Structure 1
Amino acid sequence: MTVACEVTTLWFGDDGVIPNNPRLPVVLLRAALPADAGAAHVRSIHQRNGWGGNWAYTVFDYHHWHPDAHEVLSVSRGAAELMLGGPQGDRLELRAGDTLVLPAGTGHCRLSASADFEVCGAYPPGQEHYTTRRNRPADRRDGPEQIARVPLPDRDPVFGDAGPLTRAWSR
Structure 2
Amino acid sequence: MLIEPLAFADEGATPNHPHWPLLAYRGALTVEALADDDHAFDTLFEANGWPVGFRNGIYRFTHFHSVTHEVLGIARGRADVQFGGESGPIVSVVAGDAVLLPAGTGHRLIEAGADLLVVGAYPPDADYDLVRAGEGDAVTLRKRIASVPRPDSDPVLGQAGGLGRLWLAA
Q: Note the C-alpha offset of 1:55.
A: 1.6
Of 32, 35, 58, the residue aligned with 2:31 is 35
Q: Note the C-alpha offset of 1:7.
A: 1.0
Q: Note the C-alpha offset of 1:54.
A: 2.8
Q: Note the C-alpha offset of 1:125.
A: 1.4
- What SS does the aligned partner of 1:142 have? helix
Other-structure match for 1:151 = 149
Other-structure match for 2:18 = 22
Other-structure match for 1:83 = 82
Unaligned runs of 5+ in 1: none
Other-structure match for 1:160 = 158
**Structure 2 letter corresponding to 1:146:** R
Q: Note the C-alpha offset of 1:138.
A: 3.5
> TM-score scaled to structure 2, two decimals?
0.92
Q: State the identity as a percent.
A: 38
Other-structure match for 1:50 = 49
Question: Contact 1:156–1:165 (CA<8 Å) still a contact in 2?
Answer: yes
Other-structure match for 1:170 = 168
Other-structure match for 1:96 = 95
- What SS does the aligned partner of 2:31 have? coil
Q: Note the C-alpha offset of 1:52.
A: 1.5
Q: Note the C-alpha offset of 1:165.
A: 2.0
- What SS does the aligned partner of 1:43 have? helix
Q: Note the C-alpha offset of 1:137.
A: 4.3
